[in-house]
Structure 1
Amino acid sequence: MTGTPWVVVSNWPIPGFDEALSPAEWGDVRVYTSGRAPAPESDGCTFAVEAAGTAIHVAEDRVRVTTSGYNTTPVYFAAEAATGRFIVGTDLPTTAAAFAALTGTPAALRDEIGVQLGSQSAVFGVERLEHLIELDIRRESGAWLSKRTRQTDPAETSIRFREALPAGRAQVDALRAAIAAALATETEVGVLVSGGVDSGLVAALVAESGASATAYTIGTEWGNEFDHAAEAAQAVGLDLRVTALGADDVVAALPATVRAFGHDEPQTIAIGVALTAFCQGRHAAERLLLTGYGSDLLNSGMATTDEIDGDIGAKVREAVHRTRYSSEFTSALGDAAGYRLTHPYWHVGVLDVALATDPAVKTFRGREKGHLRIAARDVLPESVAWRPKTAIHHGNGLGDNLVRLVDTHTGVSGGTRLVYRALLASQIALASQNPLASLTGREAYDRAVAQVARTS
């Protein structure tokens, strides 16, 4: 089986897939899954791709895809105009492989496969559906027709919060509601903490809820924030467990991270790979994992204190829009290991409050996220609430050190993107041979490194 569960939907038998899987069928619509399919409904079947609203609904001779306003987990689409054959999928390698098998044309990567702010995916002929799209594909009079409708963008919201403390408290309340929603079906929860205000708030609100919880912190051989995490966990009354990832753990997690993201952008992958490695190592006992990721994007646009004189509102809007196509909030990083990876700051209620907050109050007292920091003092000590911001991939040392490590392994300066590209290409090729086949993370990485070293 491939690591991350996936779904592929087509209106035609897919060579190679039919031999490996027994598809469910509704009329001419066939559904292939690498995991357990949801129970059939009276009029078909629905696959929930993302909790915020992205879903694939399959009925007899009809497929309807809806993407959420935040579009954190991708849905891919490919169609052959001459025949009307199409593919809808939740995983880029299997979607590309399925479309290649359907058309008889090998899948090919584009020259540029970084984060694309639009419908272009890394593979020619395959698109990533944009946010807030309803794609309706149906058979009418013997022909397959598709129609797209664009919904209103929820990010285009009016300013409602113009004072720092009320704005911060409104976001804390929304965060509290987001955590309660995540806990509605779970009795135990793990919280990933770094020691800063963002994850500290999540930990404090989880502790406040009374749920059975454990705090976890992730470091690497290049860096960690263990002392700060210990202070935050102690302040809110949670036990802390420390995970120190080695270089081998990190590189073994790269194939799954690149696959889930569907691109080769190094900074984004450096953020996601630590979460993947943590989940692959099964370091948490609890199924539900909550993070503090996303607050920097929403509340400062990733600006530091030295940069807050710029247009924070523009930075936030740009950062939020980019995440619709970077996949960095996808839950797929934890799916293969059975974790329910959840980012409360990316809950629709928290997003609404943050985007409705006057950018001017986000720099309260001359600090980025000032409005959130002052509100956090209700549940966190001053030292945690006002701790200087450290980006996640710098706190764990992965930012520059991962690039250096891959360059060392390949012997090529700038080899990181080449390796990520090779990882994506090799997974497409493997899916073309057998959609259920998989390589171990380290084996896939070593093959990609060898290919780059050999051809550069």
Structure 2
Amino acid sequence: MAPLSKWCVVTNTTAPDLAGSAVHGELGALHVYHRGPAGTALPADPPFVLDVATLAPESGSRDPVMSTTVRIDPDAVTVRVSALNENPVYYAANRMRGLFAYFTDLLLAPLVLPALGLPVALTDTAIGHERGTLLRGVSRLPDGIVARTCYNAGRWLTDVADSHDPLGDFSDPHRDDPLDAGEAQLDALAAEIRRIDATTPEGTGYATLLSGGIDSGTVTHLAATAGLPVTPYSVATPWGDELADAAELCAELGIGLEAVRLTEDDIIASIPEAVRWLGVCEPEVVEVALTATSVQRLGAVPADRVLLTGYGSDLINAGLYRPFDHRDDLIDQVLSAVDRTRRSNELSNRMPLAYGTRVHHPFWAWPVMRVALETTPECKVREGREKYHLRTAMSRRVPEPIAWRKKIAVHHGGGLQDGVTRRLEKETGSTDRQAVYRACFTELLDRAAQGELEPRDPWAIFEGAVRRVRDVSPPARG
């Protein structure tokens, strides 16, 4: 199945380049361009509220603090950004001409900025922290703000209000018993999986991306023991796999395991899409996303299954901690890791929406996160083992070798990061992976300007990116 990006643009001017790709509505003084999931349509008359995660009218069932919404009135647009900011909203304005636009997909910039009388240009820095994006003049709205642009006395004016950051409430965690803290987190996870199932049509099948680790293993165990019809899928790469470890848990649960065998070219060809849906080029972020992107792009998991992942657990449970001297150091590491995701887009819903699939990250539900952030460093790291509390609780449910298996990061488990690094160095003669990912973004941007918002030929994009890097890189030493 080819992806079709879903997005919304709210502006006070016409954007002719968007007209052929979306439903266009003139709502009072505003123009709205919307391409949502099949069967969704925006109301004909404002006011109404759009849920940015689903790009459908808000149902009212989500926590307003933890969901990003766009409210459209005849003479105003109000964007409320969630505290976790998983799904981005971008903003650009030409103040001299009084024109602005809010949009939910960074690759729309070449079609939106000209309508505002603004140029399309990359930032000078690779990371692109000028305004939180890789494009000049385009801002990614930060977490927890309310931005309102309204028509007043013949002018469009914008004001921005900040709100309390809930991460600030967890500088002194109090759950200090490993077993109790682990059990509390498992209870919260089980409740989240039940919530997901309650909102899923009866008879729907489930899938998990199962490695040998405790995170995806916990989600798989809880889903299976809750009676959900779940099929685990485990990814193997040419550089390694965790199939035997995954099979061990499946045997314990009495369920089958589906192996997904990716070739090197499968993974490399997924780089343009990973960059496309993320809109960033930081190597760690892109490479963590490559497995899920490959699975999605190749249709390795049937589209009618709801996919449950273990993503996010490393961040909230100190799974990738650095050596520390004081408990406050680890608390800061965890909070900083969560904070970074508010700009990385790694937990956004953009790719699943494009493919028409449903993906949930139970560890990233706020009730689960809250329990984890309330857990003390002494529970999370003990005797040299990370996620000690979670492993302690899971060891009451699965054999100890499964619960206490050595941690391997998602992009390391199949040797993926090292394999990708070697391939990129061979292709470009450079060790700068970020330059390759940035060049992919540039290639994508050029195609988006021509109306190609989904990468139809990933190899053409990748090869174009390689040429760009080769053109500026010094020759490799022999």
Q: Same fold (TM over 0.5)?
A: yes
1:109 to 115, 122, 134: 122
1:145 to 157, 182, 185: 157
> Which range moves more in the overlay, 46-55 or 290-299?
46-55
Instruction: Give the counterpart letter for 1:430 in structure 2.
Output: R
Per-residue CA deviations over 1:346-375 (Å, capped at 9, x if unaligned) read 111111111111122112444211111111
Change (3 A) 1:218 1:312: same
1:67 to 81, 96, 118: 81
Alignment root-mean-square deviation, CA: 2.2
Q: CA offset at residue 385 of structure 1?
A: 0.9
The answer to whether residue 136 in structure 2 is matched with residue 124 in structure 1 is yes
Change (3 A) 1:26 1:455: same
Distance 1:339 1:442 in 2: 24
| Local SS of the residue matching 2:407 | coil
The answer to whether residue 242 in structure 2 is matched with residue 228 in structure 1 is no
Distance 1:141 1:257 in 2: 44
Instruction: Give the counterpart letter for 1:145 in structure 2.
Output: L
The answer to whether residue 92 in structure 2 is matched with residue 78 in structure 1 is yes
Change (3 A) 1:287 1:27: farther
| Local SS of the residue matching 2:232 | strand
Change (3 A) 1:9 1:338: same
Distance 1:114 1:287 in 2: 35
TM-score by length of 2: 0.89
> Which range moves more in the overlay, 41-50 or 106-115?
41-50
Which residue pairs with 2:24 in the alignment?
Answer: 23
Distance 2:251 2:273 in 1: 33
Structure 2, unmatched stretches of 5+, are: 54-61, 474-478
Which residue pairs with 2:334 in the alignment?
Answer: 316
| Local SS of the residue matching 1:393 | coil
| Local SS of the residue matching 2:88 | coil
Per-residue CA deviations over 1:406-439 (Å, capped at 9, x if unaligned) read 22122x2124222211221222222222265643
Which residue pairs with 1:216 in the alignment?
Answer: 233
Change (3 A) 1:429 1:104: farther
Contact 1:109 1:124 in 2 (8 A): yes
Which residue pairs with 1:11 in the alignment?
Answer: 12
Q: CA offset at residue 119 of structure 1?
A: 4.3
Structure 1, unmatched stretches of 5+, are: none
Q: In the comparison of the two structures, how many residue pairs are matched?
A: 451
Per-residue CA deviations over 1:220-240 (Å, capped at 9, x if unaligned) read 111211111111222223321
2:147 to 130, 135, 142: 135
Instruction: Give the counterpart letter for 1:177 in structure 2.
Output: A
Change (3 A) 1:325 1:417: same
Which residue pairs with 2:437 in the alignment?
Answer: 420
TM-score by length of 1: 0.93
Per-residue CA deviations over 1:9-60 (Å, capped at 9, x if unaligned) read 2110013223554412211211223444534176344332237401222232
Q: CA offset at residue 185 of structure 1?
A: 2.5
The runs of at least 4 consecutive aligned structure 1 residues that moved more than 6 Å come to none
Contact 1:20 1:435 in 2 (8 A): no
Distance 2:119 2:128 in 1: 23
Which residue pairs with 1:195 in the alignment?
Answer: 212
| Local SS of the residue matching 1:300 | coil
| Local SS of the residue matching 2:156 | strand
Distance 1:392 1:309 in 2: 26
Distance 1:373 1:436 in 2: 43
1:166 to 171, 180, 184: 180
Which residue pairs with 2:57 in the alignment?
Answer: none
| Local SS of the residue matching 1:25 | strand
Q: CA offset at residue 4 of structure 1?
A: 2.6
Instruction: Give the counterpart letter for 1:127 in structure 2.
Output: S
Instruction: Give the counterpart letter for 2:295 in structure 1.
Output: F
2:411 to 378, 388, 393: 393
The answer to whether residue 52 in structure 2 is matched with residue 49 in structure 1 is yes
Instruction: Give the counterpart letter for 1:68 in structure 2.
Output: S
Instruction: Give the counterpart letter for 1:132 in structure 2.
Output: G
1:238 to 224, 245, 255: 255
Contact 2:27 2:45 in 1 (8 A): no
Distance 2:32 2:447 in 1: 20
Change (3 A) 1:382 1:394: same
Q: CA offset at residue 74 of structure 1?
A: 1.4
Q: CA offset at residue 320 of structure 1?
A: 0.8
Distance 1:196 1:146 in 2: 47
| Sequence identity percentage | 35
Q: CA offset at residue 336 of structure 1?
A: 2.3
Which residue pairs with 1:341 in the alignment?
Answer: 359
Distance 1:429 1:282 in 2: 27
| Local SS of the residue matching 1:392 | coil
> Which range moves more in the overlay, 222-231 or 39-48?
39-48
Distance 1:344 1:91 in 2: 24
